[in-house]
């Protein structure tokens, strides 16, 4: 996302001697509606992952005007199950060879750890990004024209455990291909004001969309939305286009662990792992 932010989820940034950044988190659900989903909901974790890292990077002066950033990998692990809404956090960086990873830990008002998340990404110039993305979107539309929302059969809200302000992003499991679940994210189901729980750049399917698609797919795989995601990992290899259907192929490499491979237009775009209880 480009560095043009009219608001900030974090405040009162303090840069420590070791380069880490302490900050406070907003608890204003009218400004950040996804806070109402609960502190360990994967959408909340990914939204916080973005906004806390952006706030810390800007505090450190690590992003220039006219640049874009893209998340390429992230993992997270939830902490105290009794922890409440995030009140503060700590951001730091780790380096192994040429690979730099950021780490963010969030705490509630009683200093109980909510989650620890890590991530890696890239930063590049706005002009080249927009030229490249424009061509990619034109190619996607040519290969698979965008479809109307009413032409896609979405799974029921009850099957996905979502409330009235949320939207289904996936189709029911097909008996002909039970290991693959179809999905569609567009402006009508994945962006405000239609869906206040999800946001993003509006250029492509963002990490909050992908994690919610995976969570909804897991609801269908389990046949029950009543579980808690306690951690996971996302590897993001290619942009996923808004308005163009994609698919998730799933397997279960370990108990209470599901792995989804996301494919669009014949290309592998992401791998998402969810751990639950």
pLDDT tens sequence across 78-133: 999 999 999 999 999 998 888 889 999 999 999 999 999 999 987 765 545 555 55
For residue 266, what are its two tokens? 């014949």
CATH topology assigned to domain 10-125 = Thiol Ester Dehydrase; Chain A (3.10.129)
- Report pLDDT for 1: 43
What is each CA distance from 200 to 46, 173, 196, 206, in whole angstroms? 11, 27, 11, 6
- Report pLDDT for 213: 98
Q: Which residues contact 264 (CB under 8 A, 6 or more apart)?
A: 140, 238, 240, 241, 244, 245, 246, 247
For residue 52, what are its two tokens? 């806390």
Structural class in CATH, domain 144-276: alpha beta
Could you tell me which of 51, 175, 180, 22 has the C-alpha nearest to residue 119?
51
Sequence spans of domains, the chain: 10-125, 144-276
Cα Rg, the chain, nearest whole Å = 18
Q: What is the pTM of this model?
A: 0.89
10-125 against 144-276: fold identical: yes
Say if residues 248 and 262 touch (Cβ distance below 8 Å).
yes
Nearest-10 Cα torsion for 251, 103, 51, 231: 30
């Amino acid at each position: 996302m480009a560095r043009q932010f009219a608001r900030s989820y974090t405040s009162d940034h303090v840069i420590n001697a070791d380069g880490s950044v302490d900050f406070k988190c907003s608890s204003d659900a009218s400004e950040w509606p996804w806070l109402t989903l609960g502190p360990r909901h994967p959408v909340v974790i990914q939204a916080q992952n973005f906004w806390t890292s952006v706030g810390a990077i800007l505090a450190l002066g690590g992003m220039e005007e006219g640049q874009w950033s893209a998340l390429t990998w992230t993992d997270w692990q939830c902490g105290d199950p009794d922890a409440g809404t995030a009140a503060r956090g700590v951001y730091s960086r780790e380096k192994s060879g040429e690979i730099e990873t950021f780490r963010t830990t969030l705490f509630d008002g009683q200093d109980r750890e909510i989650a620890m998340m890590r991530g890696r990404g890239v930063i590049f110039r706005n002009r080249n990004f927009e030229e490249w993305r424009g061509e990619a979107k034109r190619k996607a539309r040519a290969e698979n024209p965008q479809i109307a929302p009413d032409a896609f059969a979405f799974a029921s809200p009850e099957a996905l455990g979502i409330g009235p302000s949320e939207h289904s992003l996936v189709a029911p499991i097909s008996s002909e291909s039970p290991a693959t679940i179809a999905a569609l994210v567009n402006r009508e189901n994945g962006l405000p004001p239609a869906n206040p729980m999800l946001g993003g750049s509006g250029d492509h399917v963002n990490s909050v969309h992908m994690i919610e698609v995976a969570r909804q797919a897991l609801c269908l795989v389990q046949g029950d939305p009543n579980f808690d995601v306690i951690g996971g990992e996302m590897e993001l290899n290619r942009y996923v286009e808004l308005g163009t259907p994609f698919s998730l192929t799933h397997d279960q490499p370990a108990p209470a662990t599901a792995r989804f491979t996301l494919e669009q237009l014949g290309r592998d775009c992401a791998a998402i792992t969810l751990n639950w209880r």
